[in-house]
Every structure is written in structure tokens, then in C-alpha cells.
Amino acid sequence: MRPLHPLRDLNEQTLRRRTSIKWRQYPDDVLPLWVAEMDVVPDASIRAALTAAIESGDTGYPHGTGYAEALADFAARRWGWDGLDPSRTAYAADVMTGIAEVLRLVSEPGGPVVVSPPVYPPFLDVVEHVGRAVVEAPLGDDGRLDLAVLGDAFRAAAGRATYLLCNPHNPTAVTHTADELAAVASLAREHGVRVVADEIHGPLVPDGFVPYLSVAGAEDAFVVTSASKAWNLAGLKAAVVVAGPEASADLARLPEIVSHGPSHLGVLAHTVALRDGVPWLDAVVADLADNRRLLGDLLDEHLPDVRWARGSATYLAWLDCRALGLGDDPAAFFLEHARVALNSGPTFGSGGAGHVRLNFATSPPLLDDAIRRMAHALEVRSD
């Protein structure tokens, strides 16, 4: 049987037939290494389940707790955590929708929501969307949580804050340790802060991922997660909201209409992914490790002044381009002059200036082409 290599199966010509945002946002001469979509075909078990549902007309409304049960089983097998109770879960259309609804449950209008930038830009947007105020507690220079800064932010909020935690962290690809998360939980308890964690990238962490609700002190927290990033199912909407044991009463106040958001086919696909798609996920994680090494080699050879931490928690690389002299938004230069689309660093909040986020979940030839284009654009500028 041929080994699985999901990230090596599709060429550029095939990918350009796609109609999703990654491949349609920019002209055909641009290589898109930006939004968090992988250049893969979903696992065969997911394709078979969706095909069977369509052919049988099983296209109604979602029902039951199968998705949450599959997530609980996956968490026990993958991370050794058996504390996910399906009775303390609810469904939402996607992770950011779920986070918005949880923020409405545990924070006050106009109240402070602490974030740790540079961070996934929708974190900043969702806080504004629900009528709360962003308070930044930036990461340290090492790209990790700065617990002293976080404690200061919690203290200043005087018991009114919520902390929006990205676990693992996007864009720095940092895997928070058990000690770091326990320290966050301790600080939150001390200052009366409610934690809401986005764990959508958790299944992609090769080893060492710690679910936030598994640490002592996190019992009143919420986690919102989904199979969409790890199995490339963003177009099949479905997410799970998980409440800690002390957050059950808050979860009970979640409007029933929120559960209408996910599609039946989305719930079906995510459930099958968690139950039957683990061998495919393991193959993706192995391909991503190869691509991460390749990216490092390419940067060392062609863009040696670019710095990055080589974090393994996602398929995203946070590249420090400040030494290139391209200003606050190097992504604009690379789009115009290299025809490579990257995410703009300043959109990630404090600490984002001079950076770009690169999605390396693509085929090795496309990754090679992109880095060579970027290097060539710099050479032409220097001539």
C-alpha cells in the first residue's frame, strides 16, 4: 500500500481549479501561502461519509452528541485527557462564532477582554464585535506567554476581565506547556478572570499538547474547538463549545439558536474525522514536519536575514522580516514584487510590524517556488 503523503498529492494546476478563498482571492500569477487552508484532499473516510449522506438524502439538521463524544474519545487517545464530558458541550457554527457567544455569557458589555498579541486577527475583531474592549498583554520576546505582563493586565482589570487564550498559539506556532497553562489558570483564579481558549490547532501538535481544561484551576473556563484545521474542513461548518465543571450554569444560558449554526454535513464530517481520520492526520503531521524542515533550509539558503522560531504547533510560520528593510508590512512588498500572498503582520496586533505569516501546508515544489520568488524580488530591489 502506498504511504500516505496528503501534501504531495496535488499540483498547482489542480489546486487552481479550487473555488475557495485561498485560491481565488488573488490573480492566477500569485502563489497563495496565506489563509489557513491546506492544499490536501480530505481523508477517504470523510469523503465516503459525505458521499453516502448526499446519495441517501441525509441532508437535514444535525442531531445528537456524536461529535462531542468523538472529540472526547480523541482527546483521551491523543492527549491522555479523559475529562471532556459531552454533557457539558454545545455546538456552534465555527470556533469564532462559538467564542463570540461564550464572551457574551461570561463578560459584561464594554468589559475588558485580554489577548496576547501578536495573535490571530479575528481575536481582535470578535472582541469588538461583541462590544467588549481589547486589552493587550503581549507575548514575550521569545514568542511565549509573558506571565508577568498577563498578571499585570488581569490585576488592572479589577476582577472584570476575560482572557482569550490561543492554545496552541497562532501565529507563533508555540505549544504552551502544562506549567505555563497552570500559571495562567492560577493568575485567572487570583484575579477573578474567566478564560476562553481556542484550541482549533491542537490536533496538529506533534507532541506535548495540553488541553487547557486539563490543568488545575481551569474548572470555570471554556474551550471552543473543531476538527476543521487539522482535517481541512473549514467549509464544513461545525465547532464544539466545551465548559469546565464550574461553567455548566453559564453553558446552560447559551441561546438554543446557537446550535442551529453548524451544518449536518459539517457535524458528520468532523465526527468521522475524529473517529476514523487519525491515520490521515498522522500522515499530514509527518508531511508538515518535512515541509517545516524544507522551509528552514530554503530560508537559510535564500533569505538568511529572516528569523523565525520554527514552532511545530501549526502549519503556520511567523517570519520576522525586519532585517530586510521592508517596513511594517513586508507582505505588501512580497505580494507586489514576488507575487506571493502572505498574511500581513500588523493585523496580528502589537509585535506584528515587520512580520509575515506564511502557510506551509502546501506541496514542496510550491513552497520552494514561493521562497525563491521572494528572494528574487529582494535581489531585484537591491540592483
Could you tell me which residues are beta bridge partners of residue 224?
198, 241
Give SS3 for 358: strand
Render pLDDT for 22-41 as a digit per residue (tens, 0 to 9).
999 999 999 999 999 999 99
Confidence of residue 157 (pLDDT cuts 50, 70, 90): confident
Q: Span 130-140, mean pLDDT? A: 97
* Residue 291 CB-half CA count within 13 A: 31
Which pTM does this prediction carry?
0.97
Q: Which residue carries 478572570 as its cell? A: 193
- Collapsing DSSP to helix, strand or coil, 270 comes out as helix
d(CA 297, CA 291): 10
Bridge-based pairing of strands 133-136 and 112-115 is parallel
Which whole number is the average pLDDT over 99-118?
97
pLDDT for the residue 38: 98
Measured between alpha carbons, how far is 301 from 168 in angstroms, rounded to an integer? 29
Sequence-distant contacts of 276-281: CB under 8 A, at least 24 apart: 276/43, 276/45, 276/46, 277/43, 277/45, 277/46, 277/227, 277/231, 278/74, 278/77, 278/78, 279/4, 280/4, 280/6, 280/43, 280/44, 280/45, 280/231, 281/43, 281/203, 281/204, 281/230, 281/231
DSSP conformation letters of 287-303: HHHHHHHHHHHHHHHH-
Give the mean pLDDT of 67-93: 98
Summarize the confidence of residues 131-155 as an average pLDDT.
96
CA distances to 101, 243, 250, 295 from 253, rounded to whole Å, are 10, 12, 5, 46
Whether the predicted pLDDT of 218 surpasses 70: yes
Q: Does the pLDDT of residue 1 top 80, yes or no? A: no
Share of the chain above pLDDT 90, in %: 97
Q: Is the pLDDT of residue 383 over 80?
A: no
Neighbours of 81 (CB within 10 A): 17
Is the pLDDT at 2 greater than 70? The verdict is: no
- Cβ atoms 157, 135 nearer than 8 A: yes
- Burial of 123 per CB tally in 10 Å (0-12, 13-18, 19+): buried
Question: DSSP label at 322?
Answer: G
Instruction: Tell me the pLDDT band of 3, cut-offs 50, 70 and 90.
Output: confident
HSE-CB of 95 using CA atoms within 13 angstroms: 25
Reported as a single tens digit per residue, the pLDDT across 244-303 is 999 999 999 999 999 999 999 999 999 999 999 999 999 999 999 999 999 999 999 999
Nearest to 173 by CA among 313, 15, 11: 313
| Residue bearing cell 481544561 | 213
* Domains with residue ranges and CATH for the chain: 6-42+278-382 (3.90.1150.10), 47-276 (3.40.640.10)
Name the strand (E) or helix (H) holding 28: none
Would you state the pLDDT for residue 159? 76
Q: How far apart are CA 40 and CA 8, in angstroms?
A: 8
Q: Are 107 and 155 in contact (CB under 8 A)?
A: no
β-pairing verdict for 162-166 and 112-115: parallel
Q: How confident is the model at residue 382 (pLDDT cuts 50, 70, 90)?
A: confident
Q: What are phi and psi of 315, to 5 degrees?
A: -105, 30
- Tell me which residue of 141, 146, 174, 166 sits closest to 322, measured CA to CA: 141
Average pLDDT over residues 232-241: 98
Peptide bond into 118 cis (omega under 30): yes
Confidence tier at 223 by pLDDT (50, 70, 90) = very high
| pLDDT value at 63 more than 70 | yes
